Amino acid sequence: MLRQILALVFIFVCTTVAWVILGATIFARTYGSNEQLQGHVASTWGTAQQQSPPTATYTFTDVVNSTTVENGKVVVHSENVQRQVPLPMQASRIHVNFHLTPRQKGLLWYSTYAVDFAADYTFQNNTTRPQAVDFRLKFPAQKAIYDGLQMKVNEQPVALATDDQGTVGQATVGPGDTASLHVAYRSQGLDCWRYQLGDGIAQARDFMLTMQTNFRDIDFADDTLSPTSKQLVPGGWQLTWQYSNLVSGFQIGMTMPQKPQPGPLAGEISYAAPVSLFFFFFLMFIITTLRNIDLHPMNYFFLATAFFAFHLLLAYSVDHISIHAAMVLSSAVSVGLVVSYLRLVVGLRFAALEAGTAQLIYLVLFSYAFFWKGFTGLAITIVAIITLFVVMQVTGRIRWSERFAARGGAPVPSAA
């Protein structure tokens, strides 16, 4: 009996080493090419975006006098200096609509999205003269597309001059008048979107930003403001940030939800596989001991390889099919290997009922526990405690010294 236990320990250790190597290989495949793949996604789709409010400025010519001493005389020099004077922003009405369209590259999903941006801003010319005002909208990202870009002042389209920083339109605003600026575009981004109120601590008067998503799993990054109200809409959320006179150094933003990542999930499942195999071996050893079924260490070796086949197939199929389809395929293959093998060794009833059920619990459900973000450890702990309770109740009246002595004596015929 002792030699059999030592053989099982050796098989378990060797399989654990193989799982560690497989897990390291998965993570190397995942993150070794992540930077290159992310750059490829960014170059073809777009990068993270950070939109800032537009500015409205007019040019003011100021006369600057300076004095110098020449030949003992004081000479006054006058110079015309042009200054850019901003118009104060009186109100902001911003509408942002997100359409999440994740894309998979290799072993990772990337949270790509399409965004419809439309906003109306009110500026006031607080001077006593009409001013030729330059309205500038800074682009939220350089590596992006801007379709349907438009700018209107008091509902009149203005000619746009665009460079790598943004777009500029010019219109005349009368003395004391207000100018209503409308800007809109459609674009694409990656991972997150932010609205920056200004550089550092900024002030926003009569401000309202409405954001609508086509996803429910919303998240707000650090250093961003929570919405003042939110409402469930078909397929997502409608979020609103509304302030009468806001002074803050925080931004407004949305972090796009992440789909279950095939590479990291497969790697974590592989690293945790020895725990799954330990439970299975433990239960098989208890059942065969109680029922006087003779399983040779070689039988346990083939059972361990069937478990390893699950993780090996999962590791090299998740980058070709969905993670859930890969889980179903790998589970069917592994369970089929175990049941068809033990059917020949012990019998169909034991293979399908005891061994098959144990494998479904300690391999398939154990692996699916990694999909329950935040509850994986708790789920595994509950399964371990239930298993321990059942085994303790079933074996509480067993005389282990007598049972091991019987198993260590004459060979017991196979139940087959």
User: How far apart are the C-alpha atoms of 46 and 65, rounded to whole Å?
Assistant: 50
pLDDT tens digit string along 137-195? 999 998 889 999 999 999 999 999 888 788 999 999 999 899 999 999 999 999 999 99
- pLDDT attached to residue 415: 40
- pLDDT attached to residue 359: 93
pTM of the predicted model, to two decimals?
Answer: 0.78
Per DSSP bridges, beta strands 49-51 and 192-195 are parallel
pLDDT tens digit string along 365-386? 999 999 988 888 898 899 889 9
> Are residues 317 and 326 in contact, defined by beta-carbon separation less than 8 angstroms?
yes
* 3 state SS of 208: strand
pLDDT tens digit string along 72-84? 677 666 676 678 8
Write the CB contacts of 184 (distance below 8 Å, at least 6 apart in sequence).
116, 117, 118, 119, 148, 149, 150
- pLDDT attached to residue 81: 67
User: How far apart are the C-alpha atoms of 44 and 381, rounded to whole Å?
Assistant: 44
User: How far apart are the C-alpha atoms of 409 and 412, rounded to whole Å?
Assistant: 9
- pLDDT attached to residue 144: 87
> Are residues 182 and 119 in contact, defined by beta-carbon separation less than 8 angstroms?
yes
Task: Spell out the domain ranges in the chain.
Answer: 2-32+261-408, 47-59+79-255
CATH T-level topology, domain 47-59+79-255: Immunoglobulin-like (2.60.40)
Amino acid at position 295, single letter: L
User: How far apart are the C-alpha atoms of 235 and 55, rounded to whole Å?
Assistant: 35
- pLDDT attached to residue 414: 43
User: How far apart are the C-alpha atoms of 229 and 213, rounded to whole Å?
Assistant: 14
Which of 145, 191, 221, 188 lies closest to 34, judged by CA? 191
> Are residues 189 and 112 in contact, defined by beta-carbon separation less than 8 angstroms?
yes
Write the CB contacts of 230 (distance below 8 Å, at least 6 apart in sequence).
237, 238, 239, 240
CA 154 to chain CA mean position, Å: 41
pLDDT in tens, the chain (416 residues): 678 888 889 999 999 999 999 999 999 888 877 777 777 888 788 899 999 999 999 988 766 667 777 766 776 666 766 788 889 999 999 999 999 999 888 888 999 999 999 999 999 998 888 989 999 999 999 888 999 999 999 999 999 988 878 899 999 999 989 999 999 999 999 999 999 988 888 889 999 999 999 999 998 888 899 999 999 999 899 999 999 999 988 999 999 998 888 999 999 999 999 999 999 999 998 888 888 888 889 999 999 999 999 999 999 999 888 899 999 999 999 999 999 999 999 999 999 999 999 999 999 999 999 998 888 889 889 988 998 998 899 888 888 777 777 665 544 444 43
User: How far apart are the C-alpha atoms of 281 and 412, rounded to whole Å?
Assistant: 20
DSSP H helices in 146-272? 262-271
Which of 272, 262, 270, 261 lies closest to 24, judged by CA? 270
- pLDDT attached to residue 411: 45
User: How far apart are the C-alpha atoms of 234 and 214, rounded to whole Å?
Assistant: 8
Q: At what angle do helices 323-345 and 297-315 cross, to 10 degrees?
A: 160
User: How far apart are the C-alpha atoms of 394 and 292, rounded to whole Å?
Assistant: 15
Question: What is the strand order of the sheet 166-173 is part of?
Answer: 73-86, 55-70, 131-138, 166-173, 160-162
How many residues make up the chain in this entry?
Answer: 416
- pLDDT attached to residue 30: 86
Beta strands per DSSP E along 101-228 = 103-105, 108-110, 112-124, 131-138, 147-153, 156-157, 160-162, 166-173, 178-190, 192-195, 202-212
Write the CB contacts of 373 (distance below 8 Å, at least 6 apart in sequence).
none
